Amino acid sequence: MSAGGSGEAHAAIPQNQLIAFGIIGGLIGIYAAFFLSNVAGGVFSFMGALGAICATIWGAAAVRRVASYGLGTGVPSIGMLALGMGVVAAMFGLAVAEGFGLAIAGPLIALVVASIIGLLIGIFANKVLRMNIPVMEQSMTEIAASGTILIIGLSVAMTGTFLFDVVLEDVITTGYIAVIFIAGGMALLHPFNANLGPDEKQDRTLYNALEKGAIAMIIAGIVALSVQNASVGMVTVLIGIFLWYYGFTGFYARVKRDAFKVVGTGLLPSEEELE
């Protein structure tokens, strides 16, 4: 596990745009799925997964930004941390909102709470653990927040709603939360981890994030087959497969652009080529 280089990674798309994309896209997806849940038998619950994909892309960019400084241990740790924070914040947000009769505000509360936990861990990481990574506070906040949107988005894709009692019944009790946890966590950490190297490019990494987010969406669709009904599940799965295809071809096109050579087969580069 190489720990990444050191220093700020070059970013073609500024992080602020990705933050806006993740938060706005994520919340629009979640709320659209929620408000359209009564339309056409709930087929619009796939919107929740689209929101989750927006959050994935944002989170993967944040992981890329902080992990390129080198964490001292593998990139995966930060993905696990993100989802650890996310799951606590998401459940709290949804539960407390419902407890106060403001269920509609659940995702927003979760987002705020996650940001607070993330900021806290970020501050402690720099001040107490002395990691001294300049973007630590901001990135931890972003990672926790994106992890929370991811969890809520995928839960919405599975159940069609973010009402806590439904999520509790259909996602937590059944254990599907475990797949949200790991498929979401991997979607955040895998893109940068899989593209780690001196010639890593932001757009390639983010296409990879789209592709991995789409896989999480497909799995959420499979779960929706049983939690909701066959048509809802199939719609989510099919859109997920389409997005996966789009993400994969986009990723592969950038691999062909960025790689030294993409060859069908061949020997190692010759001595002259290595000079």
Partner 1 sequence: MDPLIGMGALALMGAAATIAGASEDLESDIGSQSNPNSQVQLAPQMSYPHRIYNKAISGEPPSNALMCTIGGTVAYVMLNFNVSVVLALTIGSLVAAMVHGTYATTAYMGRCSSQKRFKQMVYLDVLRSHTPPIMGYSFITTFTILVVSYIMVTVFAHPFPLPLLAFIWGITVGAIGSSTGDVHYGAEREFQDVEFGSGLNTANSGKIVRKAESGLRSSMDNSWFCAKFGGPVTGIAFGMTVFLSGWITTVFDPSKGPAAGWESVIAGALIILVMIIYNRKMEVSARKEFGPYKEDKEEAA
Partner 2 sequence: MIDIAGLIAENIIYVLLITLGGVLVSVSVHFVPVGGAPAAMAQACGIGTGTVQLAAGAGLTGLVTAGAMMGVTDNIGLVLASGTVGGMIMIAVTMIVGNWVYFYGVGCPAASAKVKYDPITKDRQDLYISQGTEGHAIPTVSFVSGVIGAGLGGLGGGLVYYALLKIGEVASGLTVKDIMSTTGHELVGLASIFAVGIFFMNAVIPSYNIGGTIEGFHDPKFKRWPRAAITSLVVTFLCAILAVVTLGGM
The interface region with partner 2, picked from 16-24, 31-39, 72-80, 212-220 by CB under 8 A, is 72-80
Please check whether residue 21 is in contact with residue 68, taking contact to mean a CB–CB distance below 8 angstroms.
no
- Per CB under 8 A, does 128 bind partner 2? yes
- Output 174 or 229, the one with its CB closest to partner 2: 174
Q: How far is the CB of 264 from partner 2 (least distance, A)?
A: 32
- Output 63 or 94, the one with its CB closest to partner 1: 63
The interface region with partner 1, picked from 68-76, 90-98, 125-133, 141-149 by CB under 8 A, is 68-76
Give residues with Cβ within 8 angstroms of 163, minimum separation 6.
Answer: 94, 98, 103, 106
| Angle (deg, nearest 10), helices 15-35 and 46-67 | 160
Type of residue at 213: G
Residues 236-255 within binding reach of partner 1 (CB under 8 A) = 244, 248, 251-252, 254-255
- Output 19 or 90, the one with its CB closest to partner 1: 90
Q: Which residue carries 């280089």 as its tokens?
A: 5
Give residues with Cβ within 8 angstroms of 142, minimum separation 6.
Answer: 15, 19, 22, 58, 59, 62, 118
Please check whether residue 65 is in contact with residue 8, taking contact to mean a CB–CB distance below 8 angstroms.
yes
Among 38, 132, 226, 249, binds partner 1 (CB under 8 A): 226
- Output 174 or 231, the one with its CB closest to partner 2: 174
Identify the three-state secondary structure at position 174. coil
Q: Is the dihedral of CA 49, 177, 224, 243 positive or negative?
A: positive
Structure tokens given for 127? 């001040």
Distance CA 214, CA 204 (A): 15
Q: How far is the CB of 107 from partner 2 (least distance, A)?
A: 15
Which of partner 1, partner 2, none has residue 268 at its interface (CB below 5 to 8 Å by kind)? partner 1
- Output 3 or 36, the one with its CB closest to partner 2: 3
> If DSSP states are collapsed to H, E and C, what string results for 107-158?
HHHHHHHHHHHHHHHHHHHHHCCCCCCCCHHHHHHHHHHHHHHHHHHHHHHH
Which of partner 2, partner 1, none has residue 243 at its interface (CB below 5 to 8 Å by kind)? none
Structure tokens given for 193? 């981890």
| Interface positions with partner 1 (CB under 8 A) | 1-2, 74-76, 79-80, 173-179, 181-183, 185-186, 189-191, 193-201, 204-205, 208, 211-212, 215, 219, 222-223, 225-226, 244, 248, 251-252, 254-255, 258-269, 273-274
Which residues of this chain interact with partner 2, rule CB under 8 A?
A: 1-3, 71-74, 76-78, 80-81, 83-89, 91-92, 95-96, 99-101, 113, 116-117, 120-121, 124-125, 128-131, 168-169, 172-175, 177-178, 181
